[in-house]
């Protein structure tokens, strides 16, 4: 009987963890939506793309430092991000900036990644929940 009680407690902990992971997923997805609601959408232009190649004992690696400019009000702002692929100078991309602090901004593709991250949390929650169920079922079979 005591062994079953421990298994139920373990299963309960897995369910609590699953609920926590679901909350984290909801938080990531809602953060992305809130930014799109509260921030101002604008177009940025790639002004430079610098090849950043380096080597170590494991091989040679390439990334690109992409520099974009965007306008908020009468001011022009610059932003640098790292990319695995080159971007053509003059190409355009969407970003969202905070109208109260235009230096605070997010690329549209970063917000899409946040949604993907949120969905991964949901998958993790299902896995953790299934483990909780398996603990309960395993505990009943041994009884």
pLDDT of 140 over the 90 cut: no
The rounded distance, in Å, linking the Cα atoms of 134 and 141 is 10
Residue 124's domain spans which residues?
2-142
> Is residue 141 predicted with pLDDT exceeding 70?
no
Q: Tell me the average pLDDT of the chain.
A: 81
Q: Is the pLDDT of residue 47 over 90?
A: yes
Can you tell me the mean pLDDT for 54-59?
88
What's the average model confidence in pLDDT over 89-97?
91
d(CA 28, CA 24): 6
| pLDDT of 48 strictly over 90 | yes
Higher-confidence position of 34 and 113: 34
Counting the structural domains of the chain, the total is: 1
Q: How crowded is residue 128: how many other Cβ atoms within 10 Å of its Cβ?
A: 19
């Amino acid at each position: 009987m005591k062994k079953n009680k421990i298994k139920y407690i373990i299963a309960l902990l897995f369910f609590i963890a699953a609920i926590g992971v679901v909350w984290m997923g909801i938080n990531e997805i809602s953060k992305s939506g809130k930014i799109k609601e509260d921030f101002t959408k604008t177009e940025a232009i790639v002004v430079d793309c610098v090849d950043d190649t380096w080597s170590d004992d494991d091989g040679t690696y390439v990334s690109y430092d992409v520099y974009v400019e965007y306008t908020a009000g009468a001011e022009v702002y610059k932003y640098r991000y790292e990319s695995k692929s080159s971007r053509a100078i003059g190409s355009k991309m969407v970003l969202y900036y905070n109208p109260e602090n235009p230096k605070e901004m997010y690329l549209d593709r970063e917000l899409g990644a946040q949604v993907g991250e949120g969905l991964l949390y949901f998958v993790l929650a299902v896995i953790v929940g299934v483990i909780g169920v398996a603990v309960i079922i395993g505990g009943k079979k041994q009884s």
